[in-house]
Amino acid sequence: MKSYIPTINISSLLKCDFNSLSAKNTIKKIEKACVEVGFFQVTAHGISIKQIKNICKIGNTFFNSSEKNKIKLAPKKWNKKNKNIYRGYFPNTVNGKEGLDLGDLKITSKNSKEYKSPYIEYLNLSKSFSKASIKNLSNYFDKNFFLSEILFKSIITLYKKDENISNFAFSRIKSLSTLRFNYYPNQIKPVEISKQDGVALGCETHVDSGVFTVLYQDKKGGLQVQNRKNKKWYDVPFNKNALIVNTGLALEYLSKGKFKATNHRVLWNKTKRISVPFFFEPSYDFKMSYSFLNSPSKSDTKSILFEKFLNKSLKKFIEYQR
């Protein structure tokens, strides 16, 4: 079961030289994992275990703080005093787990007015976090963004295009990329019973919206991936040295279905656990089209702004019905 999820050392990609023999071999492994599984684990990814542990500690401290402290960052739906709708804290009454959604931490209140997107929201983290914690969160966001860019650029090279076209799709501040903390409390009951195999779930079966998701799950595990062919479910094993990567709907769209978004779920676990996904998502005004990666053709004149694409995708999640 463990061998179903490939593990790839990506050290050769961190120098951003995608033409070396070792880099090309690594990119082939990524391509194979994306096409066949939709999930893989990366090692030698440039983010230290110490930093990951520190980020988990910051998340756990927040979720174990008072309700009063957490609700300071809640969207308007749960805190009438706040203007934010999509960014911030949501309680476990929504869908069995608590969450904290952070956009780019470089966003200022000026940016949120300048860019006409409901997802570009300034969140004043100092209401609930120390300066040191905010600095660490910002640094972790930066490193995940850089890592995700490298993975996306490696995909671009497969299409014989200049990897720097990624700058057209991803612009800091405009990017809707999200750093999220999922905190699973002692769940009294599952959020869903799988219709396929009757298994109790702590997080429903779903696919992600963006290009890539980069995830750290704690040692309690619970994440499962579905094999697209035989529909069986496989555990994603815990590896303290690895981050889990999966493809999302935006990459499926841009690749004309070559890299499909893959079903995954989290098993119901009565003990507390935390996971930290980073959703790598394009700029809100990026025009998604098939010709971005592929050769242009007359049938590829359609395009959709990523903001609209994301909005459509998020409607299926209870926590985003705001």
Q: How many CB atoms lie within 10 A of CB 304?
A: 13
Scan for tokens 């009454």, then name that residue.
93
Q: How far apart (Å, rounded) are the C-alpha atoms in residues 109 and 112?
A: 5
- Number of separate domains in the chain: 1
Of residues 168, 143, 177, the one with CA closest to residue 248: 177
Q: What is the pTM of this model?
A: 0.91
pLDDT at 156 (0 to 100):
96
- Pair 265, 158: CB distance under 8 Å: no
pLDDT tens for the 322 residues of the chain, in order: 457 899 999 999 998 889 999 999 999 999 999 999 999 999 999 999 999 999 999 999 999 999 999 999 999 999 999 999 889 998 877 666 789 999 999 999 898 889 988 889 999 999 999 999 999 999 999 999 999 999 999 999 999 999 999 999 999 899 999 999 988 776 667 677 777 776 767 666 788 889 999 999 888 777 889 888 888 998 888 888 999 999 999 999 999 999 999 988 877 776 788 899 999 999 999 999 888 888 776 666 678 899 988 888 776 666 565 5
DSSP per residue, 226-275: E-TTT--EEE----TT-EEEEE-HHHHHHTTTSS----EEEE--SS-EEE
Per DSSP, helices labelled H in 159-217 are 166-169
Instruction: Find the CATH number of the domain harbouring 163.
Output: 2.60.120.330
Q: How far apart (Å, rounded) are the C-alpha atoms in residues 308 and 302?
A: 14
pLDDT at 1 (0 to 100):
45
CA 68 to chain centre: 27
Q: How far apart (Å, rounded) are the C-alpha atoms in residues 112 and 117?
A: 8
Provide the pairing of β-strand 178-184 with 98-102: antiparallel
Q: How far apart (Å, rounded) are the C-alpha atoms in residues 195 and 64?
A: 33
Q: Note down the domain range covering 304.
A: 2-320
- Pair 33, 6: CB distance under 8 Å: yes
Q: How far apart (Å, rounded) are the C-alpha atoms in residues 180 and 99?
A: 7
CA distance to 55, 102, 107, per residue, from 138 (Å):
10, 10, 11
The phi, psi pair for 196, rounded to 5°, reads -80, -50
Of residues 201, 241, 252, 253, the one with CA closest to residue 223: 201
The phi, psi pair for 136, rounded to 5°, reads -65, -40
For the chain, helix (H) and strand (E) counts, in that order, are: 8, 15
Edge-to-edge strand list for the sheet holding 178-184: 7-9, 39-43, 243-247, 212-217, 273-280, 178-184, 98-102, 88-90
* C-alpha gyration radius of the chain: 19
Q: Of how many residues is the chain composed?
A: 322
Of residues 163, 159, 162, 170, the one with CA closest to residue 258: 159
Q: How far apart (Å, rounded) are the C-alpha atoms in residues 26 and 315?
A: 36
> Looking at this protein, which amino acid is placed at residue 224?
Q
Q: How far apart (Å, rounded) are the C-alpha atoms in residues 85 and 14?
A: 36
pLDDT at 218 (0 to 100):
82
